[in-house]
Amino acid sequence: MKQYSSLNEVRKDILDGRIVLRELVQGYLDNIAARPDLNIFLEVFGEEALAAAESVQQKMLAGKGGRLAGMVIALKDNICYKGHKVSASSRILEGFQSLYSATVTERLLAEDAIIIGRTNCDEFAMGSSNENSAYGPVGHPINPDLVPGGSSGGSAAAVAGNMCLASLGSDTGGSIRQPASLCGIIGIKPTYGRISRHGLIAYASSFDQIGPFTHSMEDVAAILEVISGPDNFDSTVSQRPVPDYSAALGVRKKYRIGYIRECIENPGLNPEVKQRTIEILDALRNEGHTVEAVDFPLLDYLVPAYYVLTTAEASSNLARFDGIHYGYRDPESMGIDNTYTRSRTHGFGAEVKRRIMLGTFVLSAGYYDAYYGHTQKVRKLIRENTRKLLTDFDFLATPTTTNVAFGKGQKANDPIAMYLEDIFTVQAPLAGIPGISLPLGKNSEGLPFGFQLMSDVFTEEKLLAFSAELMEKFVSK
Ligand code: GLN
């Protein structure tokens, strides 16, 4: 099957009669079925997607298709879809069905997107390799022995492996941008408060944001226009109107770009990633953009601050999974305390338990001020310093990840090495700003890596326009 890289291409082929939507859906289903070894989908909604294809096709031909008509999309397994299972890749939610749809799901469906299935991820979105899923790891579409990144590894691999046109993931500390980087596609974490979190299974509520994976900036714009904006079910969503991102994509301006010196000079940065990043920055300078190094001495505090705050929030959010209200209950439970203990002990995986314990500790009496309270202040400093830089610069640039995809098992027993995967991606969610990973690099073995741009809160129009320029210039078709 032809690999489509944008919704406009799909639409053109449908309207010109070169393909019918049902065939396209069938093609994606065949691609999914051909690679069970990659373990990308936890469930495929085949019959439903084929039936939806028939009705959307008719609407399209009658000129009545919604804004996402023709888009085949997958949902990360932490986004609710009424009447469908959702597990956050955890045993503790085994068998649980969503009682309502997430706001993003409703908005996608209202604009005629076709949901093809739910994708594997790290349990409760905690991880950077998709090895923390209760349903087994995901393989990288280029080489199944490598990880696709995480935690939205299945969503990224599904798009990279041509099993759907786009997908949604969630990003708390990098879970969209890091797998986008390792899989060679686009992934964006929008501004905190741009998109409703209603119906997203919470990990760390003051960080979590939903965002898309795509091959093209056109599709990023189209999806964001549909899923962003105020929602009565989530009071943290901004009331700001949603801009016409698609129209903004064509804007070309000369920008001020600050690249973070501590990232480029980081000893852990792979030399090929470093070289390509510098090459891109030089080319931008030659084209008349202002490109300067900036210092961000707080870099070393980002990962520790992220892990104190997110584990604290997780320990509170995950308290609801008690063996009574949702999903799994340990069959040998007796009495209330024992039900909680046994269900949580057997229902959660090791990484989730590690984070619940760490989070409970940093919030506990006697330690609260020293850890949680103190780190809130550190977060404020990070946010203020980052936003100050963004008054001098339109964008902050870094590599998305220090390296390309690593081997399955390579970091699984070393939580610190795994946590350092997030070194360049946690700044954006700590500061609440948007960040995007663009597939602008490949190493000598053909493995992809991303280039990250961050901009100030609610400046997605500018971020998308400049990203479109970079995609045009630095991605060979
Ligand atoms: N890899 C990071 C973590 O393990 C980020 C996860 C995320 O963004 N959901 O927490």
Q: Which of 87, 151, 170, 181 is catalytic?
A: 151
Query: Predicted confidence band at 96 (pLDDT cuts at 50, 70, 90)?
Result: very high
Cα dist from 464 to 71, 84, 88, whole Å: 20, 33, 29
Q: What is the layout of strands, in order, in the sheet containing 290-294?
A: 41-44, 114-119, 72-76, 166-171, 209-214, 186-189, 435-442, 448-454, 395-399, 256-260, 290-294
Query: Predicted confidence band at 466 (pLDDT cuts at 50, 70, 90)?
Result: very high
Query: Predicted confidence band at 477 (pLDDT cuts at 50, 70, 90)?
Result: low
From ligand 1's centre to the CA of 446, what distance in Å? 26
DSSP 326-344: SS---TT--SHHHHHHHHH
Pick 106 or 421 by higher pLDDT: 106
For the cut 60, the answer to whether the pLDDT of residue 400 exceeds it is: yes
For the cut 60, the answer to whether the pLDDT of residue 342 exceeds it is: yes
Q: What is the mean pLDDT of residues 373-382?
A: 98
pLDDT of residue 415: 85
Q: Could you count the other beta carbons within 10 Å of the beta carbon of residue 63?
A: 7
> Quick check: helix, strand or coil at residue 168?
strand
pLDDT of residue 380: 98
Percent pLDDT > 70 in the chain is 100
> How does pLDDT run across 31-80, given as a tens digit for each residue?
999 999 999 999 999 999 999 999 999 999 999 999 999 999 999 999 99
Q: Is 151 a catalytic residue?
A: yes
Q: What is the mean pLDDT of residues 436-451?
A: 98
For the cut 90, the answer to whether the pLDDT of residue 86 exceeds it is: yes
Nearest to 200 by CA among 263, 70, 106, 291: 106
Q: Is 76 a catalytic residue?
A: yes
From ligand 1's centre to the CA of 9, what distance in Å? 33
Q: Which secondary-structure segment (H or E) carries 81? A: none
For the cut 90, the answer to whether the pLDDT of residue 217 exceeds it is: yes
Round to whole Å and give the CA distance between 215 and 329. Answer: 41
Give the position, in ligand 1's atom list, of the atom nearest the Cα of 126.
4
What are the residues whose beta carbons fall under 8 Å from the beta carbon of 60, sequence distance 6 or more? 11, 14, 15, 21, 69, 70
For the cut 90, the answer to whether the pLDDT of residue 251 exceeds it is: yes
pLDDT of residue 299: 94
Query: Predicted confidence band at 1 (pLDDT cuts at 50, 70, 90)?
Result: confident
Instruction: Tell me which residue has its CA closest to atom 4 in ligand 1.
Output: 127
Q: Which secondary-structure segment (H or E) carries 98? A: none
Task: Give the pocket of ligand 1 (CB within 6 Å).
Answer: 125-128, 151, 171-175, 203, 422
For the cut 90, the answer to whether the pLDDT of residue 20 exceeds it is: yes
From ligand 1's centre to the CA of 337, what distance in Å? 30
Q: Which of 6, 167, 175, 196 is catalytic?
A: 175
Query: Predicted confidence band at 417 (pLDDT cuts at 50, 70, 90)?
Result: confident
Mutate to test the pocket of ligand 1, among 177, 422, 424, 427 (most ligand atoms within 8 A of CB): 422
Give the position, in ligand 1's atom list, of the atom nearest the Cα of 306.
10
Query: Predicted confidence band at 416 (pLDDT cuts at 50, 70, 90)?
Result: confident
> How does pLDDT run across 224-237, given as a tens digit for each residue?
999 999 999 999 99
